[in-house]
Amino acid sequence: MKHTLGVLFIVAACLLVAMSSAAAGDAEVLQQARQAYQTRNLAQLSEAIETLKQRKSPLLSYPQYWQMILTLDQLNYSDVQTFLQEHGESLMSQRVRELWLKRLGRVQFWDQFVEVRAQIPMVYSLNDISNQCYQVQAEIALDDPNAYEDGKRLLLTGRDLSADCQGMLEALQQVGVLDDKLVLTLYREALLNNKPAQAKLWAKRSNKADSALLKQIDDMVQNPAQVLKKGGLSAHSAYARALYVYAIQRQAKADVSVAKVTYQKIQGVLDSEEKQLAQASIALEAARKHLPEALPAFAKLNKSSFSAEQWEWYARSALRQQAWPSLAGILNEMPATLAEEPAWRYWKARALLEKGQIADANQLLAKLSQERHFYGWLAAEELGPVLSEPTATYQPSDEEVKQFAKSLVSRRIEALFDAEARYEARLEWLYLIEGLEDAQRLVAAQYALMKGWFDLSVLAADKTNRTHNFELRYPTPYRDYLQKASRTRAIDEAWVYGIIRQESRFMHYAKSSVGAGGLMQVMPTTAKWIAKKLGLNGYHDGMLHDIDTNVALGTFYMRYTLDIFNGQEVMATAAYNAGPSRARRWAADTPLEGAIYAETIPFGETRNYVKKVLANAHMYATRLGLPAQTMKKRLGVIPARSGSDDSAASVSMTTQDQE
């Protein structure tokens, strides 16, 4: 009797789940499927799949993919082909291919692996590190002449390797590609990139690491000065000596002078390569701290072993001092892939102009002026009024947008938004626009704008290469709120739009990983400080995503930073991202061109942020019908740093520890 009741209970429970799925909307069924996947409940997951299948829901591919993950060991080629035929070219199809590749890699079916890999459209790359390792392993097994070089290149990217990469490592080590020299290089790079766990793995693979070294790595992470004081690092082991270099790098980040003293004490035990690494680390941190000694320190080193970051800060150290002949020489030596970056093409042209090589400079500027970004606008201004190829524009038709709205992918993205699966919707969108031509991207952008998906609209419009639509690239939602707030605070409305476009892409519900929220990405603590200043009685964190409140808070802070820096928009923008005290600290002892200040900001995130915000503001001035202003005038001149400090300047909008 008890057994019978138990069976009846289970049947009833299953019926309840089935009835629940049937009664729920697609969004709710997707949530049930996600929960079933997370709890590895295959029965409930199958039920959700069946419900969505009967409804012909555009969300069906998600629970089907989750089911494949849970049953990977039983997955077969027929299952994969059925999925691909049913869902066509889509993000989930790409995910299923990658899942199947992982399955093939684990059973070492290399011919099939290569065949499936070839089916993936060329515009998409394998992002999964396991499959990247399996691809190298497949190349080795099938005698691809590029296999070993591809494997070495993958290792030198410094990515964290998964357990699936062990076969590739064994194969590379067996043929001598992953030799002692490369393992030591990878160990050093892991340390200098502050990846001690990865460094320990390379040390173990070398067979030259003992428990004492592994403990010293851990101790060095905790307190470099204490390890150096205690001593005990073996001068006879390259792996132990690498810890000296790591300690010097860690010290230089905090205080260059301390690192230099340490280097003088221990340089006698270092070989020439280790001395180069230590000195380059000191020079890099000196450059990031804007110390004049950085330029000569870089100049005396062997450039062949410079990292990309070291090359760029070598150039920035010359730029900061406006040492134009030195900058020109550095950029001539810089590796071609780096030298082709817009920043370095622009500054090379500027250096050539300073040297009187006008024709060579104008040749660089002419090409750069056709590009639509911060340095493109500056290049165009350097050239002045010249005849140039007109920008190709495209305005999607209503019919094109209507047809796009009917597509499976647009219906799936809409369903994902309904299910509040915004992260997945964004990934679907990114996958979609990657494979589109410019005109199709603009159709997608127009559709997203109509739906109020402002961030997705900007993503699509921003992606165009030759044919553009700047109304879509720089949309103007919430105009009433922003115009009113800009006038209230007497700040440039174009600058406000520039900030919001960069901060949230106009998503009022946006929340960053550090807690900043709303259109203007205001930190909760800063919001409370501003609310108190504004006399907003009863303010609480729940109000942060209210558009009117968020804009009032954000524009108050913009006015606050602008006042601190006497109307200097570049410094105020840097302060909005990293805090006023840092923005002030990054000024020079003498007046500095705004573009040079922006390019030599030590934090990569803030450096890119400032350039993008000001480029946005430059474009929005035209979009909003505001008085024209050149980019150079907007950037202005950064006044010399003063000795005074404002205690209130410690309050910041999105401050976080960077780099």
Q: Which residues are catalytic?
A: 503
Q: Cα–Cα distance between 556 and 484 in angstroms, integer?
A: 12
To 5 degrees, how large is the angle CA 6–CA 9–CA 15? 145
Q: Would you say the C-alpha torsion 18, 24, 27, 32 has a positive or negative sign? A: negative
Structure tokens at 140: 């080795």
Q: Cα–Cα distance between 166 and 192 in angstroms, integer?
A: 23
End-to-end CA distance of the chain: 67
Structure tokens at 463: 């992606």
Structure tokens at 427: 């990934």
Q: How far is CA 109 from CA 102, 447, 464, in A?
A: 10, 43, 39
Q: How far is CA 238 from the centre of its chain?
A: 34
Q: Cα–Cα distance between 573 and 598 in angstroms, integer?
A: 10
Q: Would you say the C-alpha torsion 328, 332, 335, 339 has a positive or negative sign? A: positive
Structure tokens at 201: 């793995």
Q: How far is CA 317 from CA 327, 518, 601, in A?
A: 9, 37, 11
Q: Cα–Cα distance between 649 and 654 in angstroms, integer?
A: 13
Q: Which residue has the tokens 């810890």?
A: 243
Report yes or no: 506 and 475 within 8 Å, Cβ to Cβ: yes
Helices marked H in 452-522: 454-462, 470-473, 479-489, 493-503
Q: Cα–Cα distance between 572 and 575 in angstroms, integer?
A: 5
Give every CB contact of residue 246 below 8 A, 6+ residues apart in sequence.
191, 192, 220, 224
The 3-state secondary structure of 258-279, one letter per residue: HHHHHHHHHHHHCCHHHHHHHH
